[in-house]
Amino acid sequence: MSITLEEILTQPNAWQEAIEVTLNQARTWLPLWHQDIDYVLFTGCGSTYYLSLAAATLFQRLTHRPARGVPGSELALNSSTVIHPGTPLLVAISRSGATGETLRAVEVFRQRTQGAVIAITTRDDQPLASLADVALVIKAGQEQSVVQTRSFAAMYLVTVGLAVLASGSHQMIPAMGQLPSIGRRLIPAVRAMMETLGQDLDITHIYFLGSGFLYGLAAEASLKVKEMSLTHSEPFHFLEFRHGPMSMVDENTLLVGLLSERNRQHEQALLDEMADLGARVLSLGERTAALSFHSGLPEILRGVLYLPPLQLMAYYRAVARGLNPDHPRHLSAVVKALDA
């Protein structure tokens, strides 16, 4: 079996480890989150930058403290546009723990602030873990594949755990614990549907729409389609799509809507309008979507459920296009160009 497919299918085990590590190590990282923290930065590159966007939005929504996701390169090279007066906390995310820009970002943060650093990674033997005050290491998220799938989902769940505990939302912990078993049911249930959609090569370009914390996940899904299947794809905040991008819609367009609960009405209206213009539409959401989770979980815990179906779609599209998802064009697993 392809290693990428194997990593997608086995991800609920990594989700489980992510939840356990975050909860079990709360006594090490939770003290870094205190009254004097004025703002939180999440940083990473590529997939882990998109993870940072989702995490920052979710973290601010739950804790009501300002949080921002930035590419490692921006913190490293344009730090004055990211760091400002006040006490920050940095959450640096990297599957490899060795990406040059992310390491440099941590160094610059250390030089320019007194703030603490939490690392989220899958490797405890790489530089990022030792640069941080606390490293949350999800070994079950490690991957052989270049393209991030289960690592992304596992590290994303760590950030959900951070937001839940930092906001004192302890009542959500039991629900969080249900995610791995929900994932184990969901993945086989959606696989055939995603294979069929992935094999539809009448589709030539794909837009992923998400709002709130789902925007970062839409961006990640879009990156999967690019990396694995070399398909033109872009993410947008849902209602942004009307402001220009909709001019690209034709009968070869697939619009993938990551429906939220709070803004669903506006989001569905947008999808309906685009379907009227000829777009193919795939909606994902808790219920009454083309792909419904029926998880029974609170909205803020459900983000990770959007990932496996969209990773599978990208995988099957790559195979249908005669590409090998285990060897994406031009890519390597780690980019060290800006090594610290």
CB atoms within 10 A of CB 134: 16
Sheet holding 253-258: strands in order across?
Answer: 232-237, 205-210, 253-258, 280-285, 291-292
Pairing of strands 116-121, 232-237: unpaired
> In angstroms, what is the minimal distance from the CB of 186 to ligand F1P?
23
User: Cα(first)–Cα(last) distance of the chain, in Å?
Assistant: 37
- What is the Cα–Cα distance from 103 to 109, expressed in whole angstroms? 10
> In angstroms, what is the minimal distance from the CB of 129 to ligand F1P?
12
Strands (E), the chain: 39-44, 67-71, 88-94, 116-121, 134-137, 205-210, 232-237, 253-258, 280-285, 291-292
- Kindly tell me which residue out of 37, 45, 82, 225 binds ligand F1P, with binding defined by CB under 6 A: 45
Number of chain residues interacting with ligand F1P (CB under 6 A): 17
- Kindly tell me which residue out of 43, 48, 145, 222 binds ligand F1P, with binding defined by CB under 6 A: 48
- What is the Cα–Cα distance from 146 to 151, expressed in whole angstroms? 11
Cβ closer to ligand F1P: 119 or 182? 119
> In angstroms, what is the minimal distance from the CB of 8 to ligand F1P?
14
Contact call for residue 47 and ligand F1P (CB under 6 A): yes
> In angstroms, what is the minimal distance from the CB of 324 to ligand F1P?
15
Contact call for residue 333 and ligand F1P (CB under 6 A): yes
> In angstroms, what is the minimal distance from the CB of 45 to ligand F1P?
4
Taking Cα atoms as reference points, which of 159, 147, 319 lies closest to residue 223? 147
Contact call for residue 147 and ligand F1P (CB under 6 A): yes
> In angstroms, what is the minimal distance from the CB of 62 to ligand F1P?
24
Contact call for residue 52 and ligand F1P (CB under 6 A): no
Cβ closer to ligand F1P: 60 or 99? 99
- What is the Cα–Cα distance from 233 to 209, expressed in whole angstroms? 11
> In angstroms, what is the minimal distance from the CB of 325 to ligand F1P?
12
* Contacts of ligand F1P in 89-108 (CB under 6 A): 94-96, 99, 102
- Residue 200 pairs in a beta bridge with none
- What single letter denotes the amino acid at residue 65? R
Q: Draw the binding track, 13-42, toward ligand F1P (x: CB under 6 A; -: no contact).
A: ------------------------------
Cβ distance 43 to 131 under 8 Å?
Answer: no
Q: Which two tokens stand for residue 258?
A: 């990551």
Of 88-96, 204-212, 274-282, 286-294, which segment contacts ligand F1P by CB under 6 A? 88-96
* CA 39 to chain CA centroid, nearest Å: 21
- Kindly tell me which residue out of 77, 203, 239, 335 binds ligand F1P, with binding defined by CB under 6 A: 335
- What is the Cα–Cα distance from 232 to 203, expressed in whole angstroms? 10
Cβ closer to ligand F1P: 113 or 121? 121
> In angstroms, what is the minimal distance from the CB of 122 to ligand F1P?
8
Contact call for residue 46 and ligand F1P (CB under 6 A): yes
Residues within the interface to ligand F1P (CB under 6 A): 44-48, 94-96, 99, 102, 146-148, 331, 333-335
